[in-house]
Structure 1
Amino acid sequence: MIAAILLGLSRLLSALWCGGAILFVLVTVQEILSGKLESIVLDQLILLRFPVYYTFAFCLLVPTTLATLGWWAMTPGRWTTRVSAAAAVLGLAAMTFDYFQVYTPLRDMLLPLGSARPHSFRQYHRWTEQLNTLALLGFLTVSLIQNSLPLRGSEKLTRTDSAEQ
């Protein structure tokens, strides 16, 4: 019963995170590529939105990882639990490293608004893109694996329906 609750929680939170992160990236890329916003406005949007993005990330990814690890601890022999647990830990580690070692210095490079960006800005930007992609792929793996598993109740129902026909 507890394993089912942990699996359900992990399924829900990982799917929420993946959908939210993909939507965030699509909106951000659209704004940049539109060419309708000045550089200083884009910098302001970064400073306003990314703290919300990372807060949303950690509020979903920490419980997802804990639920996945709890599910793994209760069903350790299954390949799905091992892969899900590894992907969740990797994704959370990538997001945590990104926030503290890459995003925070990157954010500081934008201040004061309108100032010239240091030469290292592009490299930090590439790193944050790569780490966020790694985190998204990790939790997309968790979500795809866990959401493709049959529910115990529907598994029994399917067997019963098949036997009656």
Structure 2
Amino acid sequence: MEAIQTDADRVTDEATKVILNNVVKRKKKYDHYKSRHFFSIYFMLGLAAVFLYYIYRTVISPYSYSFYKVYEQFFENPVNLLGTVVLAAVYGSMLYFKKKMDKAEKEYHALRCEIVDRSKDLWKSESAWKNRHLVFQKMKDLYDINLFHENK
């Protein structure tokens, strides 16, 4: 945040600097949960593909003549049950990270929209108002935070 601080020192007051720091923190938190969520999605898909291939090769293919035998062989091997439990746990973590990501996005977007709405109050002086675009551009370039418009 040092690069923003040097420009913000000339254009903004302390309260505005705190708000800008908070929006950067919330953006980082959102990005963190977003990357975790996508990692858990890909991990779940890969693990499910490997597990289904394993089930096909060890249970379905050799015992395809009888549904009862497939059912019996699936529950007879503890590795199959362990795989099912692991898949359920990874699916649960995927849902957990999705919920956290949505919450972080909501907080980030609300604070970003508040800055856009209150920009006239945050940059009160005429010189600060004319130079606020410098801070907005730095936030866009460094942190990918758009403060020019409320839309994403």
* The structure with more radius of gyration: 2
TM-score, with length taken from structure 2? 0.40
- Which one scores higher on RCO, CA 8 angstroms, separation ≥ 6? 2
